[in-house]
Amino acid sequence: MASRLSAARAVRQLTSSATRRPSAFVCQRWQQRPQIVERRLFSVSAAIREKKYTEDHEWIELSEDGTTGTIGISTYAAKALGDVVYVELPQVDMDVVAGDTIGAVESVKSASDILSPISGVVAEVNSVLEEKPQALNKDPEGESWIAKVKVEEGVQTVLESLMDKKAYEEFTKEE
């Protein structure tokens, strides 16, 4: 397991510094951003649209037209966290880079980061979680999604590197 974790995690550890928190510290990046995918990607295949999981226990699912990715935390993660008392959501229009913190969950005196598996711009957040944080325990992989991110070109490569449901289940058994 250790070898599987190593590279991707090392990168995330380095990129997910506290200053990338969603609120208040959104810096305007001066670099030219890759093009946001505005129209349907003809290359979006069924395999890519399948729900994928990260080793950090987030899930991501592409919209039918392939332009938006819905991000949430896995049922396994929600169980491990215990009773959620607060969900910190990102701000709409925030720029994210894969591995960035896009939110945080507090449960039983613990703050845990939610990382974005992909790069893009936050298009929508699930405000229900602000009112009812405990909903995250009930339906983490359905109604209690965290954010929708407008994806960039190259998202396929990222998604291909993530685990499908079966691989993720294997992975959580090992943990």
- Least Å distance, CB 81 to another protein, is 8
Q: Which is nearer to another protein, 12 or 51 (CB)?
A: 12
CA distances to 105, 107, 120, 140, 143 from 78, in Å: 10, 10, 25, 7, 13
Structure-token match 């790069």, residue found = 119
Amino acid at residue number 74: S
Q: Which is nearer to another protein, 45 or 134 (CB)?
A: 134
Tell me the C-alpha distance between 111 and 145, whole Å.
Answer: 18
Residue 159, exposed/middle/buried by CB under 10 A (0-12, 13-18, 19+)?
Answer: buried
| Ramachandran category for residue 119: left, alpha or beta (phi over 0 → left; psi -120 to 50 → alpha) | beta
Among the residue ranges 18-26, 61-69, 134-142, 151-159, the one whose residues contact another protein (CB under 8 A): 18-26
19 binds another protein (CB under 8 A): yes
Tell me the C-alpha distance between 35 and 130, whole Å.
Answer: 31
Q: Which is nearer to another protein, 6 or 45 (CB)?
A: 6
128 binds another protein (CB under 8 A): no
Among the residue ranges 9-17, 34-42, 44-52, 152-160, the one whose residues contact another protein (CB under 8 A): 9-17
Q: Which of 37, 51, 53, 57 binds another protein (CB under 8 A)?
A: 57
**Would you tell me which residues interact with another protein (CB under 8 A)?**
2, 5-6, 9, 12-14, 16-19, 21, 23-25, 55-57, 85-86, 88, 91, 104, 106-113, 115, 130-131, 175
